[in-house]
Structure 1
């Protein structure tokens, strides 16, 4: 969970989304989540299968955002759901014990409920203002720290995190960071991921 890449086709240009993910994998990302709002189900499935194959080559877990049915169809490693999506306990009943479940939370109460419902990890944010999700409310570092203290499962911070502010999360107890634009808008995605991985490693070492 140290360096978690969340896709966004906003920056698809000379490279395809799969090409961008491959570059991120070469740079050391440790998880990939496919977030897709525009494609129909069959296009989404084909894209998921292609990117999942890339992730398998690097032994990196592959997650689908929101779409539990599609995650099951492509046999993804996991699925990530938000507070407005299906309840985590219902997701667990559908996917069984083998598939990992991530849940977006914003409060200690939501975090505890997700952990008790069967979540394997939590995504907490937005930590900083972000153009990727303009309606996201900011979570304070104090709340992030309280969430990390309240649960025993991994916690990943997300939202507006980049190389200039990543180390500000040191001391919160967070296990890793999930990044969107900081990765996929980079001119050299592989080099940027290597830098970000180093920073995320430094962040966790500062916890000790």
Structure 2
């Protein structure tokens, strides 16, 4: 899976309890983790990475010394540095370390819960300790707390962003203060989701070309929506032990923003010498989904073309989808099918393809989106966003409809219709997990395809 034109390298000094979860979340969200704990190699490693995470969960003096060393190097090389002051409200030992780290400067992101935030603000440990995964809801007090915490430490840390997580997440930076709701109560029932969130935040912050504040808001929203979808699956299956794996899967779906749809070719020569090379170039550049879409070809020709594309998709780890044709998807063992509004139902498709098949659906209205979500779609194709040369009769979707679908539906959303780097502004991408493209890629010269995909991806 690819998030941006680069896969950021993140150095984690995190607690031993959740190291594997943290590394897996980094990979799922498009990054490359380094879990080195050997301070003698920090001077060589940290200058080469994009970001550093310091999580004090399993604290002792030796680890604090190592973290100080990593902090100094990261600051000297202007790396994005996230501090998670786990349990700093529990002991003076933890609290003093975190306060001194913040006053030393170089912290880009401070992420904590409300009790940790209070301890940092007042420089006092809590009289009682409720655990590191506290979800206390404080309402308006949170707004004041996050703003005051940012004001206290932003004088030491240039462009500091403070995040207080809980049932509602609160964010403060030089741009102001925001709140985000969502997530699932199941996050409180397993260990490590807070550490996994660190991984998602730092990876998105390092990978995205958008404003860092916006990238972090997008990361928090991704976690909330992914948690909701994972919880629905877990509740249905009654298998809490698989929640982390399902959460990783949901994040991975939202971390591959390019959905490529093949352009129908007139003959075998065009397919072999135009469609296939362009598809390969696109997949090499990072594509999450590849959809084979064809209307007017014989069955044997569909089989031949779809199998060649499927082999290419498997080579690059790309999910391979068949448009409309459940019979074809079943015949070749495709990863799934995309269904239009007039096609067979999602439930019928699942009966044919099995419970593990990916089933996507088209939605042009909030009613269609709700219906598809209720019936078990895995993602939605929404639009058309713009006038499209592929479907000239498709009416563009207004932003109000897109925003409404985003606000009410937790499924991954892929915009479709006339997508180009110039048109795809943040006004649209803040409501999308990715975009589907046809002409933008297949009508481009081969030597420009990689650049075009990177331009699109950088909008996320």
Q: What TM-score does the superposition give when structure 2 sets the normalisation length?
A: 0.42
Corresponding residue to 1:101 among 335, 359, 363? 359
Corresponding residue to 1:182 among 421, 440, 447? 440
Contact 2:320 2:336 in 1 (8 A): yes
Contact 1:92 1:118 in 2 (8 A): no
List per-residue Cα deviations over 1:102-157 (Å, max 9, x = no partner): 10110111001101101000000110001100121211122112111211110000
Q: 1:165 — aligned with what?
A: 423
Q: CA deviation at 1:169?
A: 4.4
Structure 1 runs not aligned, ≥5 long: none
Q: 1:43 — aligned with what?
A: 301
List per-residue Cα deviations over 1:32-80 (Å, max 9, x = no partner): 1010112211110111111100000000001000000100111111100
Q: 2:261 — aligned with what?
A: 6
Question: Residue 131 and residue 40 in structure 1: after superposition, are their counterparts in 2 closer, same or farther (change >3 A)?
Answer: same
SS at match of 1:163: coil
Contact 1:32 1:60 in 2 (8 A): yes
Q: 2:456 — aligned with what?
A: 199
Q: 1:21 — aligned with what?
A: 279
**Counterparts of 1:126-137 in structure 2 under 5 Å?**
126-137=384-395
Number of aligned residue pairs: 202
Give the aligned CA root-mean-square deviation in angstroms.
1.9
Question: Residue 199 and residue 122 in structure 1: after superposition, are their counterparts in 2 closer, same or farther (change >3 A)?
Answer: same
**Aligned counterparts of 2:265 and 2:425: Cα–Cα separation in 1:** 26
Q: What TM-score does the superposition give when structure 1 sets the normalisation length?
A: 0.89
Contact 1:148 1:172 in 2 (8 A): no
List per-residue Cα deviations over 1:140-197 (Å, max 9, x = no partner): 12211211121111000000011211225445421000011001100126x4344333
**Does 2:309 align with 1:54?**
no
| Higher helix fraction (1 or 2) | 2
Contact 1:158 1:179 in 2 (8 A): yes
**Counterparts of 1:103-142 in structure 2 under 5 Å?**
103-142=361-400
Contact 2:260 2:290 in 1 (8 A): yes
Q: CA deviation at 1:24?
A: 1.4
Q: CA deviation at 1:27?
A: 2.2
Structure 2 runs not aligned, ≥5 long: 1-255
